[in-house]
């Protein structure tokens, strides 16, 4: 079964962008670790990143036909995007929301995520390991 991992804006700069907040690993490193774990769990993986809200909406629509579950780090769109929430509400499978940093100990505008209203689970502040935890959680939800 296939899992789609979707990453929002500025995460292409992971490793270079505010490393004191987001760490030194790149998004390619995260993809490599996710692929290895997905293999172990018997899951397929599609790992994507976009800086564009509409692209993320289109990818969530694709997931309707292709993905048994979604891991999403909507990045800044978490705090603003009703469109991404609506797209996820049109998706039937389990959704785990990931934030690398602990959004609750940062600026108050990061404390609310529209996506959390749809997510089965939310992982924040576990660094990039949050993606791996999310995959394990989806595997257990899916009985894998």
Spatial strand order in the sheet of 44-49: 44-49, 2-7, 69-73, 95-99, 121-124
Q: Is 22 a catalytic residue?
A: yes
Strand partners, 3: 45, 69
Query: Which among 25-33, 38-46, 73-81, 115-123 is the span making contact with ligand DQA, rule CB under 6 A?
Result: 73-81
Footprint (CB under 6 A) of ligand DQA, residues 107-136: 110
Q: What is d(CA 140, CA 16) in angstroms, rounded to the nearest whole number?
A: 33
**Alpha-carbon distance values, 1 to 38, 44, 108, 137 (Å):** 10, 6, 37, 14
Mask of contacts with ligand DQA, 82-111, x by CB under 6 A?
-----------------xxx-x------x-
Three-class SS state of 127: coil
Q: How far apart are CA 97 and CA 59, in angstroms?
A: 15
Q: Which of 4, 77, 91, 99 is catalytic?
A: 99
Q: Note whether 5 binds ligand DQA by CB under 6 A.
A: no
The answer to whether 24 is annotated as binding is no
Q: Is 4 a catalytic residue?
A: no
List binding-site positions for substrate: 73, 79, 86, 100-101, 110
Name the site residues for ligand DQA (rule: CB under 6 A): 10, 73, 75-76, 78, 99-101, 103, 110
């Amino acid at each position: 079964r296939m899992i789609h991992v979707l990453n929002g804006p500025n995460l292409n700069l992971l490793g270079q962008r505010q490393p004191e907040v987001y760490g030194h690993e790149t998004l390619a490193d995260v993809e490599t670790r996710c692929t290895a774990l997905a293999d172990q769990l018997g899951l397929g993986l599609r790992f994507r990143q976009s800086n564009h809200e509409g692209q993320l909406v289109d990818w969530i629509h694709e997931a309707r036909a292709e993905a048994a579950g979604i891991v999403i780090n909507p990045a800044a769109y978490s705090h603003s995007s009703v469109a991404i929430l609506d797209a996820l509400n049109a998706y039937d499978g389990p959704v785990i929301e990931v934030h690398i940093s602990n959004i609750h100990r940062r600026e108050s505008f990061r404390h609310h995520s529209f996506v959390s209203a749809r997510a089965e689970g939310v992982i924040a502040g576990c660094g990039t390991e949050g993606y791996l935890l999310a995959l394990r959680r989806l595997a257990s939800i899916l009985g894998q």
